[in-house]
Amino acid sequence: MPAPPARDHFDYAIVGMGIGGLTLGALLAQADKRVIIFEQHEVPGGYGHTFRAGRFSFCAELHYVWDCGRGERVYRMLKKLGLETQVTFHQLDPAGFDRIVGPGVDYAIGCGFQRELDRLGQLFPQHAEGLEKYYRIIDTIHRQMYQLPIGFDGRTIFGHPQQFSHIIRYLRWTLEDLFDQLGFPPPLRLILAGQSAIFWLPPRDLSLVVHAAGVGSYNQGAYYPRQSFMHVMKSLLRHIKKHPGCRSLLATEVTGMEVRDGRLRSLVTAAGQRYTADQFLFDGDAQLTLDLIGPQHFPAAFRRKLQYDYGTSVVSVYLGLRDYDLRRAGFGEQNIFWHPKVNLNEVYDDQLADRIPPSPFFFCNAPTLRPHDPHLAPPGGHQLVMVAPCSYQLFRRLREASDKEYQAAKQEFANRIIQIVESRFAPGLSDHIEVKVVGSPLTNEFYVRAPKGNCYSTPLDPQHVNLRRLNYQSPFPNLYYVGASSCLPGFATIIHFACLLYEKLTGDQVD
Ligand SMILES: Cc1cc2nc3c(=O)[nH]c(=O)nc-3n(C[C@H](O)[C@H](O)[C@H](O)COP(=O)(O)OP(=O)(O)OC[C@H]3O[C@@H](n4cnc5c(N)ncnc54)[C@H](O)[C@@H]3O)c2cc1C
């Protein structure tokens, strides 16, 4: 069948309105490029989108972010767009924004490595020296990660052995390798690994450089947008739309991308409309481009590069509460990480088995106890959000067996978490639940096209975070990958790499 005629021609066509696509779209529109951006969901934001349930609005999967202070990367990007006074961030309590709770452990992690070193040194005096070494290594890896240029490879790193000394040395290490070397006892491991448990891997598997990047970044400040994540996403989208010659299409799935003479020429939507552009940016999972373009157009070596594994998925529980005083129950701005056992490796073995874990590990926070948009909850109402890693296979198998079994499993998983919250932190909570929404890995697959419901594209272990990892480059000279699968995940990390890609594409500087 001949291709339908193109509706319009653009400088850049962007697939996906995650934070990566929106950041690049806004920067390119500001640089007077004609941009068109597509999103298959009805709302922008990808994992950072917001959905309505009853009288509540929940942000899907962004909980707290880094690098948003004045002068830091996110602020500088917003300043370039003239949005820095419109989109602002509140710094979560620097004295303790992550609370790690488990058997015999209840510890609040705050900002400043020296402060943490002093506090932990008092709790574990026989490990004071080891802790000093630990923080020195984490701090150095974190600083060196930020010096990496976009599209770095072995030559970049080994060509500058001093500048990247710690990345060279520790790239193949897991967090547990470092714990073992320093001889840390289980409760100290739980505290230090507890915070990076949000990468959904135990110390045995988690890449040390990923741990250092996350912990090192939050150590300088953990933030939450003053008017919620929807405001951030919508502000970027509005910025694109207001520029002449730019367009945005929500609820528009891109179903094909056409290659001719080695270059991408056009893309086609589910409704059969065709759009042409000079350059293309893809913000969804990079592996999806194999099907959209056709695997035969990719060199075999690149096809292999795209065949990465997917990392852990989650069950998410969103509660809308009526007449419940979360503050009186001891909640505040903090995130709570609840661990049923001290040994995080065992916790994950239980959690990722093909069954609902008897006593799940989870991460929890109350967005309405942070500065927020009034739409998040009705007056006097509150939100409590819980996230727990889980087996994708479990939910896929149950869904294929019957919808009833699948729905029942989601509810049972959620109820086990709610029972723990109620018994440990929030007595009487169940009587105040007005809205309860439970998302599974299949929910993520459906709403943000995350294959296998993956949270962070690949697993964040040394087998996947290394010099062979995919970057922004595709085998086509005018297709670039943005977003988690082509750099590392996280709101601020993706904005950082989107800024570097913008600079590379245009020659213009963000700062
Ligand atoms: C449970 C969980 C908790 C997290 N917590 C945090 C946190 O607290 N802090 C933090 O910084 N990060 C967190 N993250 C990570 C963060 O949410 C993601 O790394 C980031 O939002 C991903 O952005 P992205 O640009 O890669 O695109 P995504 O958010 O993945 O969006 C890609 C978009 O592309 C669209 N798309 C794909 N294919 C097509 C197509 N063919 N046509 C049209 N549209 C298409 C999708 O619908 C989607 O909207 C969390 C992630 C998860 C899952």
- Whether the pLDDT of residue 481 is over 90: the answer is yes
Residue 101 lies in a domain: no
Dist CA 48 CA 230 (whole Å): 7
Half-sphere exposure of 434 (CA within 13 A, CB side): 16
Half-sphere exposure of 449 (CA within 13 A, CB side): 26
Which pLDDT does position 8 carry in this prediction?
A: 82
Which pLDDT does position 196 carry in this prediction?
A: 85
- Whether the pLDDT of residue 195 is over 90: the answer is no
Calculate mean pLDDT across residues 344-372: 95
Residue 400 lies in a domain: yes
Q: How do residues 92-128 score in pLDDT, each as one tens digit? A: 999 999 999 999 999 999 999 999 999 999 999 999 9
Which pLDDT does position 5 carry in this prediction?
A: 59
On whether both 231 and 195 belong to a single domain, the answer is no
Whether residue 446 has its Cβ less than 6 Å from ligand 1: no
Dist CA 25 CA 60 (whole Å): 22
For CA atoms 191, 197, 199, 202, give the dihedral sign: positive
On whether both 284 and 355 belong to a single domain, the answer is no
Examine the fold and report which residue of 203, 219, 235 is the final residue of a domain before the chain moves on. Answer: 219
- Whether the pLDDT of residue 1 is over 60: the answer is no
The CATH number of the domain holding residue 340 is 3.90.660
Examine the fold and report which residue of 163, 191, 219 is the final residue of a domain before the chain moves on. Answer: 219
**Exposed/middle/buried for 336, CB within 10 Å: 0-12, 13-18, 19+?**
buried
- DSSP code string of 129-144: HHHHHHHHHHHHHHHH
Examine the fold and report which residue of 219, 252, 287 is the final residue of a domain before the chain moves on. Answer: 219
On whether both 345 and 404 belong to a single domain, the answer is yes
Whether residue 288 has its Cβ less than 6 Å from ligand 1: yes
> How far is the centre of ligand 1, averaged over its atoms, from the C-alpha of 452 (Å)?
13
- Those residues whose C-beta lies under 8 Å from the C-beta of residue 347, and which sit 6 or more positions away, are 202, 339, 340, 341, 361
Binned at pLDDT 50, 70 and 90, residue 372 comes out as: confident
Which pLDDT does position 321 carry in this prediction?
A: 98
Binned at pLDDT 50, 70 and 90, residue 405 comes out as: very high
> How far is the centre of ligand 1, averaged over its atoms, from the C-alpha of 18 (Å)?
5
Q: Which of 14, 36, 61 to mutate to test the pocket of ligand 1 (most atoms within 8 A of CB)?
A: 61
On whether both 330 and 261 belong to a single domain, the answer is no
Tell me the backbone φ, ψ of residue 386, rounded to 5 degrees.
-125, 140
Which has the closest alpha carbon to 187: 243, 75, 103?
103
On whether both 301 and 336 belong to a single domain, the answer is no
The amino acid at residue 248 is S
On whether both 448 and 316 belong to a single domain, the answer is yes
Given the CA of residue 483, which atom of ligand 1 is nearest to it?
A: 26
Which pLDDT does position 404 carry in this prediction?
A: 97
Residue 419 lies in a domain: yes
Residue 511 lies in a domain: no
Helical (H) or strand (E) element with 389: strand 382-390
- Whether the pLDDT of residue 2 is over 70: the answer is no
Please state whether beta strands 313-321 and 433-439 pair in parallel, antiparallel, or not at all (unpaired): antiparallel
Domain range for residue 236? 6-53+63-90+226-309+456-506
Whether residue 494 has its Cβ less than 6 Å from ligand 1: yes
Dist CA 289 CA 282 (whole Å): 8
Residue 100 lies in a domain: no
The CATH number of the domain holding residue 249 is 3.50.50.60
Whether residue 68 has its Cβ less than 6 Å from ligand 1: no
Calculate mean pLDDT across residues 370-382: 93
On whether both 230 and 82 belong to a single domain, the answer is yes
Residue 442 lies in a domain: yes
On whether both 448 and 330 belong to a single domain, the answer is yes
Please state whether beta strands 98-102 and 89-91 pair in parallel, antiparallel, or not at all (unpaired): unpaired
Q: How do residues 8-31 score in pLDDT, each as one tens digit? A: 899 999 999 999 999 999 999 999
- Whether the pLDDT of residue 3 is over 60: the answer is no
On whether both 316 and 369 belong to a single domain, the answer is yes
Residue 95 lies in a domain: no
On whether both 421 and 335 belong to a single domain, the answer is yes
Number of domains within the chain:
3
The amino acid at residue 251 is A
Calculate mean pLDDT across residues 79-97: 97
Q: How do residues 197-236 score in pLDDT, each as one tens digit? A: 889 999 999 999 999 999 999 999 999 999 999 999 999 9
On whether both 237 and 256 belong to a single domain, the answer is yes
Residue 488 lies in a domain: yes
Mean pLDDT score across all residues of the chain: 96
- Whether the pLDDT of residue 74 is over 70: the answer is yes
Q: Strand runs (DSSP E) across 115-241, as ranges?
A: 223-225
Which pLDDT does position 52 carry in this prediction?
A: 97
- Whether the pLDDT of residue 315 is over 60: the answer is yes
Whether residue 326 has its Cβ less than 6 Å from ligand 1: no
Find out whether 198 and 363 touch, Cβ atoms under 8 Å.
yes
* pTM summary value: 0.97
- Whether the pLDDT of residue 4 is over 80: the answer is no
Calculate mean pLDDT across residues 243-264: 97
On whether both 425 and 475 belong to a single domain, the answer is no
